[in-house]
Structure 1
Amino acid sequence: MKYKSWKQQEGQMTFKIISDSSCDLDKETLKNLDVEVIRIKGTDEKGQDLSEDLTNKEIYKRMREGAFFKTSQITYYDYLKKFEKFAEEGKDIIALTLSSGLSGTYQNACMAKKEIEEKYDIRVEVVDSLAASVGFGQITYFAGLAAKNGATYDEVLDFAKFLVEKTKHIFTVYDLKYLYEGGRISKAKAKISSVLNILPILEVDGEGKIYVSEVVRGKNKSYKKMMDMIEERTTSDGSDMVFPVYADDEKVIDPLIKKLEERGHNKFLPLEIGQTIAAHVGPDIFGLAYLSENIPEEFKKYLD
């Protein structure tokens, strides 16, 4: 038997966008967009749960003092509880998840979707972002803004799918010990990179997995290399917002923004990388998310 809320019975159906904390949008932005977020939990090296009140800067400080952290995926039950909350209000749901190439959260959300749709007369769509951190933030931000400005459920869903297909990430880290600890590179590579000041340029592939696409020597060369790679990968005219990302040193993205401005970009939403991704790549990071082509007018009209 499927249950209907009083809102559904009166024909007042609305919908809710649900994301998770790895999108790295700040609380104020998420509140303004009316996007619900499920928190990804973390633990320290002693297995103690990290407090919800622990700030990103406190995380970075502890990491620089030698601490390592682990994160756990959002469970099926976590999604079920969150979906049920809005199902009881009669709201359809669009759930945006962290990349299935990095986490099992997408599969867990799909299992919860099946149970909710069997019980409630609502629609639930789960969208695998194939993204993380700033790329996931870009998708969440644009989808949330479109919904806030009057886009229908199907329009937001179509827009989200466009964003997943066109979102690109590019970033570098200049302390590779966290990638080594996470098993992404060997100890020898981490040591050689440190001694020779070699930085990896990382991107996210079509399966939502992080890979090393280029290497450069020195931070200054990384800025130019990133810009050259972006120009090769996009046909955008620069009119859409770009999302730079940094950790505890916001100034590290200034040269990147300057180079983007020189090439016609003028809209930026810098994001501070959150503890979910920082736990795996460390606090020494900068980069950005961008779109490989301009947002079509059918969606752009909802972004002003």
Structure 2
Amino acid sequence: MEPQLKLFTDSAADLPHHLKVEYAVGVVPLTVVFGDNEYKDGVTITSEEFYQKLTSETVFPATNQVNPHDFAEAFRPYLDAGSEILYIGLSHRLSGTLQSAVMAKEMLQTDRIHVFDTHSASLGEALYLVRAAEMARSGLSTTEILKNLEQHKESAFGFVMLEDLQHIVRGGRLSKTQGLIGSILQIKPIIQITREGTVEVSDKVRTTKKALQSMIDKALEQQSDYSNDTLAVAHTNAGDLFYEFVDMVKEQLRPKRLIEGLVGPTIGTHAGPGAIGLFY
């Protein structure tokens, strides 16, 4: 009999609470720093509290990766209980968190920990969790699950409309040159999470409506039919505009399942307020 599989991710996945509960996912938090104050994403600061601070604080936030010790402490009880662990994590090109998970595995000296790099972030990362959980429920082995997740990278995508590029440039996830272009042209930048797990400017559109439509058009360029697929949409406190986009996605892409979520402090630090994303 194979050991029970325990799924883990990090707070950068922005996994909605009901899915954490449904799939019994362990979430290891990254740290958000406002000046001299540190907060554990989703533990000592909520998404709502974060966005309030983002608008009221005079200092810009920063993020710190999960350290290997925190991963080891999270994993150890499940290893002691005989479980196998699959950690599905934030792109290694965006954070050192994934490498910390690898180091934790080495510290614990076990082959029952599997570390998967999604090459994605936010709900793009979370979608891999959902796929893995559903496959585990169907009885697939960990080897089969990992093979399927790796194959999904070939068709996965993530597009995000940002209010501006200042936050993502300040966080070092986009070059200053690309950020300068966006500010000069006064455009709505759309960034893409590439298949390699990096971030680049995909499009520059002059109105919000056109930017939202552009993301849907890009999804349709990837494939024409999503009726059997799960998509995800996320936002950084974008208000009613987000729900307008949700309606656009349902009407034009018609996915079998649509996961909606509020981006948490980790990704929100780099995206800034008012961003809206579409993920597969």
**Structure 1 length-normalised TM:** 0.82
Q: Deviations over 1:209-250 (max 9, x none)?
A: 111011111101102211221111235443212101112234
**Per-residue deviation at 1:164?**
3.5
**Per-residue deviation at 1:149?**
4.8
SS in 2 for 1:284: coil
Q: Which residue pairs with 1:129 in the alignment?
A: 118
Contact (CA 8 Å) 1:139, 1:167: kept in 2 or not?
no
Q: Which residue pairs with 2:70 in the alignment?
A: 78
Q: Quickly say closer, same or farther: Cα 1:156–1:250, change in 2 above 3 A.
A: farther
Q: Quickly say closer, same or farther: Cα 1:212–1:83, change in 2 above 3 A.
A: same
Matched, 1:283 2:276: no
**Per-residue deviation at 1:34?**
0.9
Q: Which residue pairs with 1:182 in the alignment?
A: 171
SS in 1 for 2:39: coil
Q: Which residue pairs with 2:10 in the alignment?
A: 20
Distance 2:59 2:49 in 1: 11
Matched, 1:106 2:98: yes
Q: Which residue pairs with 1:160 in the alignment?
A: 149
**Per-residue deviation at 1:90?**
0.8
RMSD, aligned α-carbons: 2.3
Distance 2:223 2:22 in 1: 29
Matched, 1:43 2:43: no
Contact (CA 8 Å) 1:139, 1:160: kept in 2 or not?
yes
The range that moved more, 156-165 or 126-135, is 156-165
Distance 1:103 1:206 in 2: 16
Distance 2:18 2:34 in 1: 27
Distance 1:284 1:87 in 2: 41
The range that moved more, 192-201 or 219-228, is 192-201
Q: Which residue pairs with 2:195 in the alignment?
A: 206
Q: Quickly say closer, same or farther: Cα 1:272–1:198, change in 2 above 3 A.
A: same
Q: Which residue pairs with 1:57 in the alignment?
A: 48
Q: Quickly say closer, same or farther: Cα 1:212–1:252, change in 2 above 3 A.
A: same
**Structure 2 length-normalised TM:** 0.88
Runs of 4+ in 1 over 6 A off after TM superposition: none
Q: Which residue pairs with 2:161 in the alignment?
A: 172
Q: Which residue pairs with 1:301 in the alignment?
A: none
Q: Deviations over 1:101-121 (max 9, x none)?
A: 1011222222222333x3x5x
**Per-residue deviation at 1:31?**
1.6
Q: Which residue pairs with 2:216 in the alignment?
A: 227
Q: Quickly say closer, same or farther: Cα 1:189–1:207, change in 2 above 3 A.
A: closer
Matched, 1:265 2:254: yes
**Per-residue deviation at 1:98?**
0.8
| Aligned length, in residue pairs | 275
Q: Deviations over 1:56-76 (max 9, x none)?
A: 112112112244211111112
Quick one: which amino acid aligns to residue 21 of structure 1?
Answer: S
**Per-residue deviation at 1:274?**
0.8
Q: Deviations over 1:7-39 (max 9, x none)?
A: xxxx57212111111110123320211111111
